[in-house]
Amino acid sequence: MHIILGGTGRVGSATALALLRRGEPVTIVTRDAARAASLAQAGAHIAVADIHDTGKLREILRGGTTAFLLNPPADPSTDTDAVEHATVDAIVAAASGAGLQKIVAASTYGARPGPPCGDLTVLFDFEEKLRALGMPLAVNRAAYYMSNWSEMLDMVRERHTLPSFFPEDLAIPMVAPADLGEQAARRLMTPADDSGVEYVEGPALYTPRDVADAFATALGEAIDVDVIPRDAWEAKFRQLGFSEPAARTYARMTGTVVDDAGKWPATPVRGATTLQAHIRDAVERGRERR
């Protein structure tokens, strides 16, 4: 049995569906069974638990042989670093003594130790604490999520503009959640000695201009890129509802992505989903909902 944390989110659900397509048994951990209804219909078992209920979560994990562990993002109106570190500790405590044969953990490009830097330092801490448990650990470090852009669909459609914290011509690795799910499923099914860090990205590097062009093609209208200056990042995050500490750490994380441009892994695992296909599918789904 494969246990999936964050199983109703984009990457977790993609992982679950990839496993179910292969006939693998899957248990989704969720706080709300209703959100997992479609996965239950697809054949997944549903376990209801709060991720901070260490005892309950450990009990669920003991029912599996492998687990996909994903640290969910905190509400940006909170001190996100503090909340996410607390969640890391709860997940690791539950995994300790759960008797799992292998863990696959979701992490990120640029994960590193050091001063608070959003996901980059939180997920490095997650990796290190899971590694200290002494059980086989496979870490998938993901490139920038294409879904971060597709979630802006309504804004882009309404304003004919794509806001970007990145320079318009900055090419960075991006990846679709569907491809992250495929790679997580693959590593859950491989032997325990398939461990260590792998980097997962899409078939090419993309720029914010490429994103705007993909929206333009899918929507059939011109889309401009509105680049937010670096000295305005924190204020913009605050305007979007982020707390002061969250705005500060997200601005620092964004700056690190920009400053690290070009320092990408030489041999990533590449998914097949192009940015253009991801945006097109998001636009088509959006039309179905309207």
Domains of the chain are: 2-143+176-201 (3.40.50.720)
| 114-170: pLDDT as tens digits | 888 999 999 999 999 999 999 999 999 999 999 999 999 999 999 999 999 999 999
Q: How confident is the model at residue 34 (pLDDT cuts 50, 70, 90)?
A: confident
The pLDDT of residue 262: 85
In the predicted model, is pLDDT for residue 263 greater than 90?
Answer: no
The pLDDT of residue 75: 94
Alpha carbons 199 and 139: distance in angstroms, whole number:
8
The pLDDT of residue 9: 87
The pLDDT of residue 289: 65
Residue 142: beta bridge partners?
Answer: 108, 200
In the predicted model, is pLDDT for residue 3 greater than 90?
Answer: yes
Instruction: Please give the residue that has the higher pLDDT: either 97 or 71.
Output: 71
| 45-87: pLDDT as tens digits | 999 999 899 999 999 999 999 999 999 999 999 999 999 999 9
Q: Percentage of residues in the chain with pLDDT exceeding 70?
A: 99
The pLDDT of residue 71: 94
The pLDDT of residue 290: 57
In the predicted model, is pLDDT for residue 288 greater than 80?
Answer: no
Average pLDDT estimate for 178-204: 96
The pLDDT of residue 36: 87
| 204-242: pLDDT as tens digits | 999 999 999 999 999 999 999 999 999 999 999 999 999
Provide the residue type at 226 as one letter. Answer: D
3-state secondary structure the chain: CEEECCCCCHHHHHHHHHHHHCCCCEEEEECCHHHHHHHHHCCCEEEECCCCCHHHHHHHHCCCCEEEECCCCCCCCCCHHHHHHHHHHHHHHHHCCCCCCEEEEEEECCCCCCCCCCHHHHHHHHHHHHHCCCCCEEEEEECEECHHHHCCHHHHHHHCEEEECCCCCCCEEEECHHHHHHHHHHHHHCCCCCCEEEEEECCCEECHHHHHHHHHHHHCCCCEEEECCHHHHHHHHHHCCCCHHHHHHHHHHHHHHHHCCCCCCCCCEECCCCHHHHHHHHHHHHHHHC
The pLDDT of residue 8: 81
Q: State the average pLDDT for the chain.
A: 94
